[in-house]
Each structure stands twice: as structure tokens, then as C-alpha cells.
Amino acid sequence: MKQYEEQGLEGLARADSDIKSVLPEGVDPTEEAYKREILKLRIENERLKKNYTVRTNEAGEQEYVRLKPKNSKS
């Protein structure tokens, strides 16, 4: 706990390994970055549960797209 409080995630890494080597490129190893990533993934999961996703169209605007058409029985 003391190592984490003083040095954050890097404080928990072993001395011979660097925490940045296990993270994908472009990932900022700060706590706020992790919180934003978790929130982003939660939102994406909720959208997938509702059967839609968000994508950017050619005009640069975000649009909501249904993944599968509704199943209607005749």
C-alpha cells in the first residue's frame, strides 16, 4: 500500500521490469487515464447490450448504428 501511495502503479512494478513494457503503446499510465478507459468501455458495453454502436460518418459526425435489424415475426 505504501509503495502504491508513494509511487502509484509504477511503485508496484518489480525493480527489474518496467510497467510501461506491459502496457500497449499509447496508453498513459496514470490513474485518471485508467478511469477514463474504464468509463469508455462501460459505455460501449451498454451500447452493445442495446444492440447499437457509434461510428463516425464521412462528414466527421457521430452516428448511432443498429448492429442487427430487429427480428420481426409475421
Kindly indicate the confidence band of residue 22, based on its pLDDT and cuts at 50, 70 and 90: low
* Phi, psi (degrees; rounded to nearest 5) at 55: -140, 165
From residue 14, how far is each of 8, 19, 59 by CA, in Å?
A: 13, 8, 47
pTM exceeds 0.75, yes or no: no
Containing 70, the helix (H) or strand (E) segment is none
Q: How confident is the model at residue 65 (pLDDT cuts 50, 70, 90)?
A: confident
Write the CA distances from 67 to 28, 48, 56, 74, integer angstroms.
31, 8, 15, 21
